[in-house]
């Protein structure tokens, strides 16, 4: 009886092991399905496109000029559709072989859709599509999103959910404008903006880490608090003292030689100091987060704080310090809305960019370079929406302005694929 039971158990375990070995994980068809949707949209564009589209690739300060190119809109759309169809087929083959999607596939799909859309939007119009202006504006509009996403990465990698990025951006915009106006220098506002962001972050640390209040609730409350406080100060003190809310702008700093290279020069190397600091912040954080002792300690506090404590890392101090650093970065991003753009402060002028920055962080899988790419996507959509009325397109800019928010919904719904948040984010310790 015992031998029979043993043999039966052995057969059962062998069968289970065999079935487990033959089981395969399901195909991830998200990228191929996206490619099919893009291809169908391009088909609709090709059917409705009439006439030609004119593109402009240079600006007067470039080393040499390219003439404006007038091309058949339908032909451009069909070529872009062919590229999308090819990379969709590649994505399907990779999915059938259970291989991870390649980044270049998604990039080519995005570029193909953008080229087709611009050709369709400008078809038969008298206006010219200024590619350099669109790209340069997209980079500028992505600045607060990048800083906000980096703030989210530092906070959540260390174990703190930083929903208060919106308030940190708004606080930085407010203090940057006031200090710049008081000192008659936009540079003073640039140095003051991170202070406001860090103060909001320290409030989050006080209630969320010290008193263990739900960090999501605290973050939302802080956003409302900063919005109400800055709105009150704007309607009272700033309205009665316009000299404290002047429109001062950081100068545009052109990098010699590099800024005169066609297309990439005006886009990358003719910007304000905020953009150049953004380059540095992304590069430094990408290296430090995964290749330094500081980054290892930060990630340990966000993944397994008890283990970090065991080896002598002060978890609370690490989380508070990094949350303050994150707030300072977000405050610096808030300076873009005032001294970075040459605007005076206005009520709720950040317009939800803090929440979009959180979506960029999730799309980027809590990595600086990935978040940079997601932020550029949002900035590009906004830039195109601002350009459409100028070229006389019949496409409503409001539809294009919806794109960042649609992508945000898809990101938080998990459509972007398997991304894992730090294991101990939002969990108080000790």
Q: What is the pLDDT along the chain (430 residues), one digit of tens a residue?
A: 444 444 444 544 544 444 444 445 677 788 888 889 889 999 999 998 888 988 888 888 888 788 888 889 999 999 999 999 999 999 899 888 888 767 788 888 888 988 998 899 888 877 788 888 899 999 999 999 999 999 999 999 999 999 999 999 999 999 999 999 999 999 999 999 999 999 999 999 999 999 999 999 999 999 999 999 999 999 998 888 889 999 999 999 999 989 999 889 999 999 999 999 999 999 999 999 999 999 999 999 999 999 999 999 999 999 999 999 999 999 999 999 999 999 999 999 998 899 999 989 988 889 999 899 889 988 888 888 888 887 777 777 777 777 767 766 765 665 555 677 898 989 888 7
- CATH number assigned to the domain covering 131-379: 1.10.3470
Give the CA-trace dihedral at 253, 131, 369, 332, to 10 degrees: 40
- Domain residue ranges of the chain, discontinuous segments joined by +: 29-127, 131-379
Q: What is the pLDDT of residue 9?
A: 47
Residues 6+ apart with CB under 8 A from 21: none
Q: Which residue has the tokens 């039966």?
A: 8
pTM: 0.88
Cα atoms in the 13 Å half-sphere on the side-chain side of 121: 25
Contacts 24+ apart (CB under 8 A), 276-282: 277/332, 278/143, 278/146, 278/147, 281/146, 281/147, 281/150, 281/329, 282/146, 282/150, 282/368, 282/369, 282/372
Q: What is the pLDDT of residue 14?
A: 47
Strands 52-56 and 69-72: antiparallel
Classify residue 29 as exposed, middle or buried by CB count within 10 Å of its CB (0-12, 13-18, 19+): middle
Task: Please say whether the dihedral angle defined by the alpha carbons of residues 225, 226, 227 and 232, taken in this order, is positive or negative.
Answer: positive
């Amino acid at each position: 009886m015992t031998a029979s039971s043993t043999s039966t158990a052995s057969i059962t375990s062998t069968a289970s092991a065999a079935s487990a070995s033959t089981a395969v994980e399901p195909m991830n068809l998200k990228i191929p399905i996206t490619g099919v949707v893009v291809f169908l949209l391009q088909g609709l564009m090709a059917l409705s496109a009439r006439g030609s589209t004119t593109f402009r690739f240079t600006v007067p300060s470039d080393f040499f000029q390219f003439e404006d190119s007038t091309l058949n809109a339908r032909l451009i759309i069909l070529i872009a559709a062919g590229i999308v169809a090819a990379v969709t087929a590649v994505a399907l083959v990779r999915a059938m072989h259970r291989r991870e999607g390649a980044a270049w596939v998604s990039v080519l799909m995005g570029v193909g859709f953008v080229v087709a859309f611009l050709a369709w939007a400008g078809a038969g119009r008298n206006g010219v599509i200024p590619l350099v202006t669109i790209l340069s504006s997209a980079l500028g509009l992505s600045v607060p999103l990048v800083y906000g996403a980096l703030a989210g990465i530092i906070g959540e990698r260390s174990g703190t959910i930083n929903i208060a990025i919106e308030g940190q951006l708004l606080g930085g915009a407010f203090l940057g404008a006031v200090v710049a106006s008081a000192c008659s220098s936009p540079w003073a506002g640039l140095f003051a903006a991170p202070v406001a962001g860090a103060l909001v972050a320290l409030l989050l640390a006080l209630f969320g880490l010290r008193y263990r209040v739900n960090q999501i609730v605290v973050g939302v409350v802080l956003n409302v608090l900063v919005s109400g406080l800055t709105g009150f100060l704007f309607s009272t003190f700033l309205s009665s003292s316009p000299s404290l809310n002047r429109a001062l702008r950081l100068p545009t700093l052109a990098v010699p030689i590099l800024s005169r290279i066609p297309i990439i020069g005006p886009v990358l190397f003719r910007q304000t100091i905020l953009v150049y600091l953004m380059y540095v912040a992304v590069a430094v954080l990408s290296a430090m987060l995964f290749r330094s002792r500081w980054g290892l300690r930060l990630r340990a506090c966000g993944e397994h704080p008890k283990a970090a404590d065991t080896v002598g890392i002060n978890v609370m101090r690490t989380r508070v310090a990094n949350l303050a650093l994150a707030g300072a970065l977000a405050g610096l991003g808030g300076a873009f809305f005032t001294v970075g753009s040459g605007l005076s402060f206005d009520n709720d002028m950040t317009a939800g960019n803090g929440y979009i920055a959180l979506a960029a962080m999730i799309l980027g899988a809590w990595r600086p370079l990935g978040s940079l790419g997601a932020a550029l996507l949002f900035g590009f959509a906004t830039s195109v929406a601002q350009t459409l009325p100028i070229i006389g397109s019949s496409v409503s800019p409001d539809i294009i302005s919806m794109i960042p928010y649609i992508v945000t919904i898809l990101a938080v719904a998990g459509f972007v694929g398997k991304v894992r948040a730090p294991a101990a984010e939002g969990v108080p310790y000790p």
